[in-house]
Amino acid sequence: MATFAYGRVSTADQTADNQRLEIENAGHKVDYWFHDTLSGKTSASQRPQFAAMLSQIRNGETLVVAKLDRLGRDAQDVGATVKLLAARKIAVIVLQLGKLDLTSPAGKLMLTMLAAVAEMERDLLVERTQAGLARAKNEGKTLGRPSKTTAAQRAEIVAKYAAGESVSALSRFYNVSRANILGVVKPA
């Protein structure tokens, strides 16, 4: 049975060679090597080389990756990928976790615990972000994208619109989109 290895890097000036070396130095003889150069925010199913590897790997073979995030963009994506591989009896080894096969009962337990920790970390990040936004708002800071028009220009736009000036003419005059003008003259 063949051993497949997969690596991913985020930018073209990076190389996945270190990941392959790490896998080989851990004692795995790599028969087939696949790697993608794209953002980690891309789900596993959307990664071209990962999809090519999935079409080539046969049931009962082994997939080795250096780190857990190579199997997906988040805990749910990693879980779905591992379930797909487990259904095909493909052993999944993540060096970052030792030589633990994620498709084994112990591996499934480890994956579930890691997913729970990742979800908690994501929730804490959202909490910290919300707290920071609330603090900034309480300090009087303006949040969001800066306005393309000044307060004086907005007053002029309202007055000109009330006098019969068209939205398109105002848009051209102030060099902003029609939607921007409509947001000033007809606020939500």
Q: Which residues are catalytic?
A: 10
Specify the length of the chain in residues: 188
Helix (H, G, I), strand (E, B) or coil at 43: coil
Nearest residue to 7 (alpha-carbon basis) of 81, 21, 85? 21
In the numeric block, the tokens 């609330």 are attached to 134
Report which secondary-structure segment, H or E, holds 130. helix 105-138
- Cα angle: 57, vertex 13, 64; to 5 degrees: 25
59: alpha, beta or left? (left if phi > 0; alpha if psi -120 to 50)? beta
